[in-house]
Amino acid sequence: MDRIGDVALFLRVLDLGSITAAARSLDLSAAVASQRLKRLEKDLGVRLLHRTTRRLHPTPEGIALASQGRALVEEIESLGAGLRETAREVAGTLRVTASASFGRQYISPLLPDFLAAHPRLRVSLDLDDRVTDLVGSGFDLAIRIGALRDSTLVSRQLAVNRRVLCASPDYLRRRGVPRVPADLAAHDCVLLTGRDGRQHGWTLAGPDGRPLEVRVAGRFESNYGEALRDAAVAGLGIALHSVWHVHQDLCEGRLQVVLPDHPVPASGIHAVMPERRLVPPRVRVFVDYLADRFAPPPWEVAAERQGGPGLQVSR
């Protein structure tokens, strides 16, 4: 029995949501695909799918097979691809996930040239601010910003993520310019919410250069970076933003950096991949491509070239 092929079929069913769609994508009849899935279940001695009239749901055993079997199938596919393809003939489907704002601004514009250079490659780009389980969701890699937590993943830093506190000139005229970190307690701050809940503090460099935690509060919060940017530009308060996100607003004066003598510690922008012995050629080539395009980061180049009132010290 072609057990690896049957596992690959099972994964395709999960990805596409139906046996018929999976069979069509693999040039099989639905009957043959169904027989192979039943054969796989019989061989493993477990039920992998719950079948209803509307859709399929993986059983706990099916979820376990998907989690552990996908890497095995992809490594075997990668091995075959590496033997068949040259570096210029990268093929298959590259599945990438990235945060919504960064992906739209800096990943999506790079894809036309990348696809033109690799005509046998397909790209599936998922833009979502949630942190996704790469293995369970079938992604080849993620572009993640900030501290990395999952030790089962491997990563490559693409760029430094410089961050600043910023506010609109109108807000600073109305409420005054913070002089020291403690002044933030008297200001409205625009806050990020997410998997760790609501922000209650920001870490800045203290007078002695050591990290200083400052309590903050405000009237507006969101889990979406674009909403926080819009709120800061509209004068709702002081926000903590990555330079890549607001460099144009800073250059054109819609936002100004505050507390520049107490910078926010930088983080990183990483390409994150499941830990595996063989990295598929499509993944390796794409990560190399991004690293080349982000050296130096285009937003830093634009900020340096354009300058602007927002990049100066607020007085």
Which residues of the chain fall short of a pLDDT of 50?
1, 86-88, 313-315
pLDDT of residue 80: 65
How many C-beta atoms surround the C-beta of residue 176 within 10 A?
A: 11
pLDDT of residue 72: 80
pLDDT of residue 178: 96
| Class of the CATH-defined domain 162-264+306-311 | alpha beta
* Candidates 1.10.10.10, 1.10.1660.10, 3.90.660.20, 3.40.640.10; CATH matching 1-84: 1.10.10.10
pLDDT of residue 287: 96
Tokens of 155: 């990563």
pLDDT of residue 81: 62
pLDDT of residue 63: 86
Question: For the chain, where do the domains classified as CATH 1.10.10.10 start and end?
Answer: 1-84
- The H or E element that residue 90 is part of is none
DSSP 139: -
Quote the CA–CA distance of 314 and 247 in Å, as a whole number: 16
pLDDT of residue 306: 65
Question: For the chain, where do the domains classified as CATH 3.40.190.10 start and end?
Answer: 162-264+306-311
What SS3 class is residue 138?
coil
Nearest 5 degrees, angle CA 36-CA 41-CA 43? 90
* pTM of the predicted protein model: 0.69
- pLDDT digits 0-9 by tens, 215-265: 999 999 998 889 999 999 999 999 999 999 999 999 999 999 999 999 999
Quote the CA–CA distance of 191 and 204 in Å, as a whole number: 15
pLDDT of residue 126: 94
CA distances to 55, 85, 164, 282 from 115, in Å: 33, 16, 34, 11
Of 187, 169, 166, 176, give the one whose Cα is nearest residue 229: 166
What SS3 class is residue 91?
coil
pLDDT of residue 266: 92
- pLDDT digits 0-9 by tens, 58-70: 888 888 888 888 8
